[in-house]
Amino acid sequence: MDVRQEAREDLAAVLRWSCRLGLNEGVDNHYSVLVPGTDDRFIINPHRRHWSDIRASDLVEVDADGNLVVGDEPPEPTAFFIHWRIHVNCPHARAILHTHMPYATSLTAIAGARLEPIVQPALKFHNQIAYDDAYNGLATDVEEGDRLAGALKDKRVAMLANHGVIATGSSVAHAFNDLYYLERAAQAQVIALSTGQKLQRIPQDVCARTFEQMQADRDDQSVRHLDEIKRILDKKEPDYRD
């Protein structure tokens, strides 16, 4: 398969799957991936199209100046400035997934909150989360996009105060795997907090050791996770590849 078509199918698949999981918010939020073989163009979901029936051919391609290269309508300004400035400033971020998914976003609404090491999935993110603790309005210019990119730096995930999250990766598979487990870890934390009981935190040395163990399996888990999503979609919603 052509690598550019494969990137489109991967992105369409995780957009649909994210909708199934309730990670989307109306017709907002956006996922992008650099066009394979380039560093100056990216593929992103079109402006305010619902994720539930997105097809590979619906995705648009945008250049470094925000010009539409492929597609019918450019993404909204916030999508361009968030995604492009992170793609430019964070070389590890070939894929960028930005959502207002409920549990992780709820943590960003708590003053000083951090993803706590209280469940195993949270250990995937040991020293991998950047926290932007100052909400600064909509990202409608280069300066705000660069500020968010600067907060992320070399981390895989950013949690944006009063806003949502950004998960990045070398591929759509890596970024989505992180996004999924981040929401699961946040969900467990929110439920634990709701009991009013004291959190039982895992010791830092155990966190570090477990993170390294998880890293050894990260590539295989990420790829297989996406492969399974596409296998299920191929049975029930194969038009995502169109």
Neighbours of 136 (CB within 10 A): 14
Tell me the H-state helices in 75-170: 77-89, 102-108, 142-152
pLDDT value of residue 124: 98
User: What are the pLDDT digits (tens) for 18-68?
Assistant: 999 999 999 999 999 999 999 999 999 999 999 999 999 999 999 988 888
pLDDT value of residue 71: 86
pLDDT value of residue 22: 97
pLDDT value of residue 68: 87
pLDDT value of residue 102: 98
pLDDT under 70: residue ranges of the chain: none
Instruction: Reduce the DSSP state of residue 159 to 3 states and report it.
Output: strand
